Chain A
Amino acid sequence: MASDDLFRQPLIWFVLIGLFLFIADSRIGDDRHEIVITDALRDRLATLWTTQTGLVATEAEVDSLVDNWVKEEVLYREALRLGLDEDDSIVRRRLVQKLGFIAESEPIPAPEIGELEAFYQQHIDDYTLPVRYSLQHLYFQAIGSAQQALTQIEQGVSSRNFGEPSMLNPSFAYRSALELNATFGADFAGQIADFPIGSWQGPVQSGFGFHLVFLNAIHPEQITPLDAIGQQVNEDYRRARQLEARDLYIENLLQQYIISVELQ
């Protein structure tokens, strides 16, 4: 009767059921992770093989590639479990790079009507030709000769009577300051920028000697119409939006963090 009593004790039932569950779990249950071999994986490994060897992998070779991949995957997961990815600059850099690619590869929708125009206006400097100069010049090795020539030209003698031969072209049309400086030497353009149009001026010093300069025209900055460079503006727009998307992505992530500074 004592045994009957014993089985009526709830505590005993509790212990027995617990024991049963423990044994059952250790025999049947499974806390192992799953690695799934899909057709996509097999195809990817086979393609990689072909790229590297130039040969088409046989079924047996693919099986062996899969085996290797599984072993590697197991090691990889174990490494993650042990936290080996932490404080590793290479892993860190690679992950950051990958996320950067993802953030930047978000498709950029085509600009709405007006949006491209607004972008173009915002970046109008990029689509504006700089101030350019059209000029004639007379070249002299010595500053004295240049001064004498100028005096005579101002007295009405034709400028054709003056100037020494030089490899420089006698006239230049539509040249920017940068282009003039490349041809004549540093800061030639700066010296002529304030000259009046339509008269001989100077002397101006260059890398070769001295020049009298006759400005035919100063062409003010010129904006290239959007119609003429639509494709370029479109590309610039896309690139700008891509960079914005990446910055925004980082900004949003930053919102999720508190950056505290503990300097000593």
Chain B
Amino acid sequence: MLRQYSSISVLLCVASLSACSDNSTTTMTDLAQKAANSASQPVQTADPAPARTAGYSAERNAYFGDLHVHTMYSFDAFIFGTTSSPDDAYEFAKGGSITHPAGFNMSLQTPLDFYGVTDHAFYLGVLREMADPDSELSKHPVAAGMDSLGGAAERGVKFREVLGFLRGPDGDELNDPEVGMSAWSEIVAAANRHNDPGTFTTFIGYEYTATASDGGNLHRNVIFRGDTAPNLPFSRLDSSNPEHLWDWMDGLRDQGMDSLAIPHNSNGSNGNMFMLIDNSGRPLDDAYASQRMRNEPLVEITQVKGTSDTHPALSPNDEWADFEIMPFMVASTLASQPDGSYVRQAFLNGLRMQAEDGVNPYKFGVIGSSDTHNATYAGEEFDYWSKVGLRDSDGILRGSVPMLEPNSAGDIYVDTYFDTWSAAGLAGVWAEENTRKSIYDGFRRKETFGTSGTRMKVRFFGGYDLPAAEDPDMLAKSYSGGVSMGGDLIGEASRAPSFIAWVAKAPDSAPLDRVQIIKGWVEDGETHEEVYDVACSGGPLDPVTHRCPDNGARVNPSDCSLTNGSGAPELRASWRDPNFDPDQHAFYYVRGLENPTCRWSTWDAIRAGVEPNPNLQPTIQERIWSSPIWVTPQL
């Protein structure tokens, strides 16, 4: 059954690629060869299609989830005081309540549709074992004090000590495959136990936690399609080169076990996540691009450790670029260089490589996720518990509330990078029904979006045969006459394609301010980008500046009350690119902006009865990003 599904998925993948891309011929050939290989495997009789679940819709539903969740099995989460298991994590996502290590309860107002526990593969379960005085691992010098960790500062010191050791030359001393296998089998079993087709989907997954030689972050989450997984995940102890991870995933896929890897915190990669050369310093070629895209169709565009859409230094003309920027390398206070670290620039560089060499290694879709280390999704501004257990469990530790008294240097606020973190990270996907198969296929199609935490939805279609945006049968006609987000169009020489961008507010959050289309293109070998407002809540769009007027929305930062102005529940527009050039490679993606609301740090301050930290943004505009649609010139 599993094997059969995954050969179908490879075939689908081939079909969708061949439908769209005119110059990834080698990609197609490779995949077709693979599909042919797996098709020759014995399991071929078609099982009857499984019954559809109650919520099935041919025009697809938006499902919300989190694919980046750590539990007590992660080495760092354990040091942070997290004792919640994968079972606890899934119960929480379904609407249950679990206790934070600091003692308060955490629960969601609205349950999530899907959830994937992704513990660090390296040293999986080992730290828990080190804290067990009966274990061999507890005798290691690094284990000293592990079973009696105290407050935030002590845990912070221990985290850096352990991380330093694990990344160092002797880290292998603490590797215990028996411990890892036992934890991994528990993670797999918990995912399968909580998967409930039609109601709640789980994914077997883990985090591959590799680091570049300069400390830049190369982390990925690996998400499996089926209900089985190898005995042990591939970790940085096997190799710190992500290309080797893809080799491993390719090998599993050939055995009928499909998975995808989702890079995250490219913002903290110091330019390593989206390089223009491979791990051995060679320019990116077709083999690299096709392998990367086969294994990494999605990227996390936002999470608690900041947003990776773009950076003000990379997009100086985008007035909304300075959003939840986390300027450091992961788990450090060293600056991370923006160049090579942000999604939009990767799309642009991919486009240029495509124009020059016919190779695009950066043609991925986007999702958000939280990266919680408390087992609990952390995307609500007004109910924020951040993500590293006892290290950032209250406003003082997070830098949003003054310390009880200034320190010896006279600082009022604690010196921390937690104040650069966000209440953020939802993954959205369009899928026929809430089942593993349907949602995973949505990931593969890249028909995905990410939000900064609220449950906005976005529809995005492109094509030459789209209906009017207000057409009552718009969805069916758009699916048949165009492509959805994540898809490809071949540009026609005589006319520009049209787009439909449609955003709905979150049921329980603020109204919408505006909807934008972000265009990237290559002209004379140079990359360019432009932000077009396409639908406004505040009045008519200025056709020259492509900007919406102010809609009058305001926030009162003393109590977070809102003035909605003319904010809208939904905004949609048909749009044609006024500067379309059929000879240029281009991509388009939607960004939808909510009216401003209080940032988590302001809520912290109000609850503590103090003024918000003047060094932090008091409000934010929650937002949604769609995956792009790529337009390729006709040959």
Contact = CB atoms under 8 A, between A and B. Distances in A.
A206 B569 CA distance: 10
B581 interface: no
Contacts of A48: 136
A52 B508 contact: no
A22 interface: no
B134 A208 contact: no
Interface string B44-58: 000000000011010
B569 A178 contact: no
A94 B54 contact: no
B133 A91 contact: yes
B177 interface: yes
Given A94-B132, A167-B570, A209-B569, A184 B178 contact: no
B470 interface: yes
A208 B508 contact: no
A202 B548 CA distance: 34
A138 to B, nearest CB: 13
Interface string A33-67: 00000000000000010011000000000000000
A90 B147 contact: yes
Interface residues of B, number: 31
Contacts of B54: 173-174
A184 B505 CA distance: 11
Per DSSP, chain B at the interface is loop
Contact of A94 (B57, B110, B134): B134
The 8 lowest CB-CB distance pairs between A and B, nearest first, are A207-B507, A185-B507, A167-B504, A208-B569, A182-B110, A174-B54, A90-B133, A185-B508
Nearest to A179: B55
Interface of B: 54-55, 57, 61, 95, 109-111, 132-134, 136, 147-148, 176-178, 457, 459, 470, 472, 502, 504-509, 569-570, 572
A6 B535 CA distance: 126
B112 to A, nearest CB: 9
30 contacts: A51-B177, A51-B178, A91-B133, A94-B132, A94-B133, A165-B572, A166-B569, A167-B457, A167-B502, A167-B504, A167-B570, A169-B57, A169-B61, A173-B54, A175-B55, A181-B110, A182-B111, A183-B507, A185-B507, A185-B508, A186-B109, A186-B508, A206-B507, A207-B505, A207-B506, A207-B507, A208-B505, A208-B569, A208-B570, A209-B569
Interface of A: 48, 51-52, 90-91, 94, 141, 165-169, 173-175, 178, 181-186, 206-209
A141 B567 CA distance: 11
- Interface hub of A94, A184, A207 (most chain B Cβ within 10 A): A207
Given A52-B176, A90-B133, A90-B148, 8 more contacts: A51-B178, A165-B570, A173-B54, A178-B111, A182-B111, A185-B508, A207-B507, A207-B509
Contacts of A181: 110
Contacts of B502: 167
A94 B472 CA distance: 65
A166 B504 contact: yes
A173 to B, nearest CB: 7
